[in-house]
Structure 1
Amino acid sequence: QVGEESYLDQVEIKPKDFCHLLQTSNKKMLTSQPTPASFKEVYDKVIAKYESIISLHISEKLSGTIQGARVAAKSTKYSDKIHIIDSKTSSAALGLLVVKAAQLIQKGLGLEEIIDRLKIAADNVKIFISIPTLKYLMRSGRLNKTKGFLGTLLNLKPIMTVNSDGYIIEAAKVIGQKKVANKTLDLAIKFAKSVKNPRFGIAHVAAPELAQWYCHKIRIVFNPSEVIITEASPALSVHIGIGGAAIAVLGQKML
């Protein structure tokens, strides 16, 4: 929501247009989750073509989205065919789980095995988010203005992550823009080295050069077959702001 105007993320407003609003508008910007009715509409369309639904969502500790999905599922006549999973993460990390789900389906695995593997994967994915300015966290109400002012004065740049319980926490804090990019990359590489077969995803807010730099550095160290790069959705952009970026890593635990 921008001022009094509401937009459906990725449908009524695209990342590029929202970034323009972020830079030019002083109106208050808020996010809210889809309604149960919106979920039911989608579920009805999907179940008409498929036997069952796997519904993967942003961490319930970060959003009420999954609760809306649960309410919608219970209101249908086919609730036993809807399998709702808490990803316990967000953004590019959630995207990696969706890609994994699609790959497991393509392999022809059974429904229960797919769900089990996705739940295991949700425990083995991490995301590291660089915050180039505290301005947007203050604007969205996620950061106390007094703390934000002091942090800005000291040129502090936080790097956020999502812990195993699904909460956003601070992974590190550095001084200066260049250091925040380097530290974000270091944290992602450290985690990727602790797991087997790491996969990578990068989401950015009007920062394609930074995303490509991250990608280049990741390829040097791991030479992965693919690094997914995408523009961050408005729901994330409203908090991290222009120039922010996130690196997500999905892997398997070392034996």
Structure 2
Amino acid sequence: MNVKIICDSSCNVPDAYLNSLDILQVPAWINFADGSSLRNQVDITTAEFYTRLAHEKHLPTTSQPTPQDFIDAIESVDAAQIVVATVSSKMSGTHNSAVQAQSLLPDRNIHLYDTLSASMGGGWQIIVGAEAAAQGADAAGVLAAMEASRDRVHTILTIDTLKYLAASGRAPMLQAMLGNLLNIKPMLAVQQGTLELVDRARGRKRSKRALVEKMQAAVGSRPLRVALINANIPDEAAEYAAEIRQALNVQELIIEELGPVLGTLAGPGALAIAALIAD
């Protein structure tokens, strides 16, 4: 059965997987104070985004792909069955855009999937689905594979500064000032489709150690496919990867940049571990 998987860019699927598994990505929009609206990975790369972010006086905003963006993507492929997977509907309006696109294309065989996660927490689910499709699964089989992987994905991150959350209105300025003053690094985890504060640590070194310890507690010694997501700190991420390999039973490890949607909120210096318990 001919199945095509479409995802949005907030799921952070690396280019290598997009290409090798023939996954079509629909970009989110990044809106700057000068009035420009750019498509992630089309008009601006993630690296270019962070370079520009460092020099912007006003924090950019992000917008989910529109229904028309999804329609254009769907109409660009001739697959008999299409699976559209999105970032969590509890974090973004992206899934709703896909729902609207589906309703406007009644003659296409479109199946929607809500990852209930973000970045590579959703990306791993999409990769699992695409691997199933590559092995001949139909849309029902792809959806079943993704659903089976959802509870096997654990995602946790630490933020280096609350400045960007505060600027976006997601955290009170007083809380941001206090956090920076005390060098407190919050840790958040994806839980039931939302990002929840799960702990705090004082200092960068402690927060990174705590991140690994929390992942150890969640997955034990089970074999893992690990994505280490970083916000514009590739050298630090490469060093941290060695620590992760020592602490966890890593079968596969990839290092990827945090996309602009979460990067706008988390800010430079954020680190996330998204681990999929392997079959």
Note whether the superposition's TM-score is higher than 0.5: yes
Structure 2: distance between partners of 1:239 and 1:64: 16
Structure 1's 124 and 225: CA in aligned 2 closer, same or farther, altered over 3 A?
closer
Partner of 2:160: helix, strand, or coil? coil
* Aligned equivalent of 2:37: 6
Deviations 1:2-38 (A, max 9, x none): 2132111121111111111221111132111111011
Question: Of the candidates 223, 235, 240, which is equivalent to residue 197 of structure 1?
Answer: 223
Amino acid of the structure 2 residue aligned with 1:177 = R
* Aligned equivalent of 2:137: 109
Q: How does 1:33-44 map to 2 (within 5 A)?
A: 33-44=64-75
* Aligned equivalent of 1:174: 201
Contact 1:9–1:235 (CA<8 Å) still a contact in 2? no
Q: How does 1:15-94 map to 2 (within 5 A)?
A: 15-46=46-77, 48=78, 50-79=79-108, 81-94=109-122
Q: Which runs of 5+ in 1 are unaligned?
A: none
Bigger helix fraction: 1
Deviations 1:148-175 (A, max 9, x none): 1122222211011110x20110121111
Cα distance, 1:110 vs structure 2: 3.4
Task: Report runs of 4+ in structure 1 exceeding 4 Å deviation.
Answer: none
Q: Does 1:238 align with 2:268?
A: no
Structure 1's 222 and 157: CA in aligned 2 closer, same or farther, altered over 3 A?
closer
Deviations 1:29-88 (A, max 9, x none): 211111101110001112x2x111111110000000000001001101334x11110100
Q: How does 1:95-134 map to 2 (within 5 A)?
A: 95-134=123-162
Partner of 2:49: helix, strand, or coil? helix
**Larger relative contact order (Cα-Cα within 8 Å, sequence gap ≥ 6):** 1
* Aligned equivalent of 1:214: 240
Give the total of aligned pairs. 248
Structure 2: distance between partners of 1:177 and 1:215: 15
Calculate the TM-score normalised by the size of structure 2: 0.84
Bigger strand fraction: 2
Cα distance, 1:219 vs structure 2: 2.1
* Aligned equivalent of 2:184: 156
* Aligned equivalent of 2:277: 251
Alignment RMSD (CA, Å): 1.7
